[in-house]
Amino acid sequence: MPQKALKNSPEIKLAGSTAPGPEKERQRRPDSKGAEAGIPNAGYMRLPAVLAVFPVSKSTWWAGISAGRFPKGVKLGPRITAWKVEDIRKLLASLEAA
């Protein structure tokens, strides 16, 4: 049974999501001066995009969430977590102010 395309479904913008095929752009880690250059203006960021601007390991990131140092993610699906761009910007601003 073919699936119908959802016509008026809201779109969720994801930064750093990967698409199969040759169109996939290479992600690079920005230097400390341009850390916010890789952050979109609005939407959500997946873990690889977050770690590109906030260079810690995955395990450190998840431990920081458990400890309350980093913002909690938003579940977009059973195995998909993303973070609000505003929360990541606030985190970077709080670290720059410290």
What are 34-62's pLDDT values in tens digits? 456 678 889 999 999 999 999 999 999 99
Q: Is the pLDDT of residue 17 over 90?
A: no
Alpha-carbon separation of residue 11 from 14, 43, 44, 60 (angstroms): 9, 10, 11, 30
Q: Is the pLDDT of residue 30 over 80?
A: no
- Cα separation, 41 vs 92, in Å, equals 14
At 56 the pLDDT is 95
Domain assignment present for residue 75? The answer is: yes
- Which residues constitute the domain of residue 53? 40-98
| Confidence class for position 98, pLDDT limits 50, 70, 90 | confident
Domain assignment present for residue 34? The answer is: no
- Cα separation, 97 vs 75, in Å, equals 29
Domain assignment present for residue 25? The answer is: no
pTM of the full predicted structure? Answer: 0.63
Total domains in the chain come to: 1
Domain assignment present for residue 72? The answer is: yes
